[in-house]
Structure 1
């Protein structure tokens, strides 16, 4: 019986969190040096620390790995999988359906190596559905275990498994990636072919019907060679992108309307999933990997080292003139010899809110945009006013991933104002997918008559009001 990894304390060389994964009520994050941090609910041992005490702060659950370090993580509803650089898989948490893979139906209080994966099997990809688990080996073989009432294990039957089982229906097909939806699974082969199995009540298998599939079924081969696939435990949506950059989405979502081009699969999920989610973790800034970035972040708003302060809404933000002049043309002009501001020690501004202006100044120090999506429009306006093209692009990406029924019309109007056709088209497509709720929003009712008329006319031409 493989031994569980031992619990360890927080390391002194902790680095920022990179991949993250969320369960129903627990979170898991991984650092660049292989440390796993967990927090949230723990009634089913989701945190892997041997207790059922919940944690409101990230707790190191790395367990003192010596030869291997964790390189990937995935959360199910109440269980978690971790993959090490040695190709080993560990699981813990709720195990009522065998999803931890320890050969029992008992909950697992600490991480334990998954049984049933042969010693010669080196795993390179893992994924969790709600209550099922998947792994892909470096030989292209696929293993599945856990809940199987909808055939999401791809084994040709609907019997759950407490140990990993090889999917023989994928023999002679080299699989390189696996992702899981709520109760369905997608795999991608090295030839760019997509195979799917499991629940299909919302059309998430892309078969043209709603019948569940217990064995892998290939997605329409005429769509082209696929580069990547996406699904998410919280949704019944499937998506894929081809080598040519064409994105496809299917399942419990509105169909693609119009010719809007999406830059990534994240954009697809931002528009078509409910709730709005990302299909996988978004990489966060790793400041400590770059000492210069770390020092710049520490210098921002530091009263002790600053030589200038900007006051917004009566609150000071401490900055350095030299950094602002280097990073921004607006401040190069402002602090020039011909302007009195160049001789002052402070400047009071009232064009933008405190939070947005502080986020702008932080961007000049770190290159990162740290602002809530709902404030993205105001920051976009600032970027346009200050001729900050790179910041403008970051704002557009931020806004794209934060579009909701409540803000889609304000974003749509901002896109028109700043002539961002790509964002305008995205908002229009999103509105078509949620037309009833969007047209009932106050923002839609407050639109200028001409813009409103053009919007309704375009929507009508796309069939939004057909019965």
Structure 2
């Protein structure tokens, strides 16, 4: 398997990797890496010892090092973020944000339009500032645009702050916002920001867009969005994009264009066609959604709101690249090379930027993933400095990888999966262990909570699994049936539920208890041919909250299902099984 293109393969880091140097050993412990800015000019990384470093051009203090010094050529310790257990870093054109394991948020960089969300009148801040109002929001999704940011909480509420001259925040105004502001309630499941426009995907598969529309970013002609009080074509509230199917499962903003991926694997795009991002021609504007390639079915797509490169992975695992480099759609298929779509962006981006922050290793203090064994010896110091991670040649750090075969099964390095840090996931991770022998669901050991009300609710969920009495969807595998409930599936995994809805066949079931009264029920039937009965039974059973019963015959397929439907906990269970066996 290829190494991550975020370490030795990146020119801005390679000179620091001389064998035997402190920088080299620091590189060995990198667990989180972000490369961004003009021409990949800023680099921020965190180590497994919870130290955060930065180096690069430091435009607007984007390295967060509490200095406006330019061209910092060697990694310098970030004394504000070190020790805060940073789990992710996000960035807009001129601002950066960090999220900690305890859901504290920090912002630094340019603040001219309120981009940092801290109510501070300063033009910029070189020191990470705590965003107190954001720390009270259970953030499920975040997207940073040119100089504006939108977040979605776990209840579907949208908040935003920053530049709003073109209505890109969607708050029905054109005023800049200097702290997280409630925008609207929604049924959005994801958000995406371009430079001056925004888009969202609903749970029903619709795409909404708002902000500037001078280049067709919103999927309609600019004349249709002219406002007498504004000289540009703009929209300051979310509205559906016309001409798109209602079965979309991804919506992504580029700098001044928008792409949508449907559940059928089709990609639609609209907006400014710079460098052939929408069609093969190098220029032009597409005001309405147009089909990108009707002969390809995509599994996922990715693009940067600040770059000119787009990437797609087809359902048969072919990589497609289009935009600035290469300038026309191309593909390569190598069964021996497995990369995530984020790794591919870093590899094929002309400036070796990362599409988002790479999560390479877990925090030492977290210690929940058994994918590698780690021995770390550090010197305790009272004052943080650049070299306090490795003060002597006697210190050692060894990482012994024992799961190279598992890596190839998952299709990406295990340590490349993001840390789970959302408040919503905390409950999901408390898996309920049970033994039902494929039929009896009455015996189970509930570890989720001692709350009797939760126990009563979970008892009902358990007893409803594979019950034909009130199910409204049935999976048929090799003549055997698995009875489920669409409401449970939708709440548990919306991606899986949407896939079920797209392939289900409705069957009318006439239930007559007597000759005078008949009740008509509609049941969705889905025939499964890709997976065995045992594999699919354990997967759906896991979605209902049961501990999956993993064995040699279903482990690989369960890992694949976990990858397809973003069920990291299921993948972890399979990894644990492989380690033990």
Structure-2-length-normalised TM-score = 0.47
> Is 1:41 matched with 2:106?
no
Match of 1:281 in 2: 357
Which of 125, 141, 147 is matched with 2:212 structurally? 147
Residue 153 of structure 1 and its aligned partner are, at CA, apart by: 1.2
Match of 2:241 in 1: 167
Distance 1:154 1:29, change over 3 A: farther
Match of 1:18 in 2: 87
Distance 1:207 1:164, change over 3 A: farther
Q: Secondary structure at the match of 2:275?
A: coil
Map 1:95-244; keep pairs closer than 5 Å. 95-115=164-184, 119=185, 121-157=186-222, 159-170=233-244, 172-206=245-279, 208=281, 210-223=283-296, 225-244=297-316
Q: Hey, what's the Cα distance between the residues in 2 that align with 1:35 and 1:189? A: 35
Distance 1:80 1:69, change over 3 A: same
Q: Secondary structure at the match of 1:81?
A: strand
Residue 133 of structure 1 and its aligned partner are, at CA, apart by: 0.8
Which of 113, 125, 131 is matched with 1:61 structurally? 131
Would you say the 8 A contact 1:16–1:286 is kept in 2? no
Count of paired positions? 304
Residue 315 of structure 1 and its aligned partner are, at CA, apart by: 6.6
Distance 1:15 1:302, change over 3 A: closer
Q: Hey, what's the Cα distance between the residues in 2 that align with 1:173 and 1:201? A: 27
Unmatched 5+ stretches in structure 2:
1-82, 224-232, 382-389, 414-581
Match of 2:320 in 1: 248
Residue 211 of structure 1 and its aligned partner are, at CA, apart by: 2.4
Q: Secondary structure at the match of 1:268?
A: helix
Distance 1:40 1:285, change over 3 A: farther
> Is 1:263 matched with 2:335?
no
Distance 1:315 1:250, change over 3 A: same
Structure-1-length-normalised TM-score = 0.58
Q: Hey, what's the Cα distance between the residues in 1 that align with 2:391 and 2:367? A: 29
Would you say the 8 A contact 1:36–1:62 is kept in 2? yes
Distance 1:155 1:113, change over 3 A: farther
Residue 139 of structure 1 and its aligned partner are, at CA, apart by: 1.2
Match of 1:94 in 2: 163
Computed over aligned residues only, the root mean square deviation of the Cα atoms, in angstroms, reads 3.5
Distance 1:18 1:124, change over 3 A: farther
Distance 1:123 1:281, change over 3 A: farther
- Relative to total residues, which structure has the larger strand share, 1 or 2? 2
Map 1:368-447; keep pairs closer than 5 Å. none
Q: Deviations over 1:76-123 (max 9, x none)?
A: 1111111111112111011111111222221101111224xxx4x321
Would you say the 8 A contact 1:103–1:163 is kept in 2? yes
Distance 1:96 1:248, change over 3 A: same
Which of 288, 302, 323 is matched with 2:379 structurally? 302
Q: Hey, what's the Cα distance between the residues in 2 that align with 1:280 and 1:292? A: 23
Q: Deviations over 1:252-294 (max 9, x none)?
A: 112548766562323432233233222233235442662578x
Q: Hey, what's the Cα distance between the residues in 2 that align with 1:298 and 1:93? A: 43
Residue 249 of structure 1 and its aligned partner are, at CA, apart by: 0.8
Q: Secondary structure at the match of 2:276?
A: coil
- Relative to total residues, which structure has the larger helix share, 1 or 2? 1
Distance 1:315 1:138, change over 3 A: closer
Q: Hey, what's the Cα distance between the residues in 2 that align with 1:285 and 1:15? A: 16
Q: Hey, what's the Cα distance between the residues in 1 that align with 2:400 and 2:403? A: 15
Residue 226 of structure 1 and its aligned partner are, at CA, apart by: 1.1
Q: Hey, what's the Cα distance between the residues in 2 that align with 1:249 and 1:91? A: 32
Q: Hey, what's the Cα distance between the residues in 2 that align with 1:109 and 1:204? A: 33
Map 1:294-373; keep pairs closer than 5 Å. 299-302=376-379, 316-319=392-395, 361-362=396-397, 364=398
Q: Hey, what's the Cα distance between the residues in 2 that align with 1:71 and 1:366? A: 33
Distance 1:50 1:203, change over 3 A: same
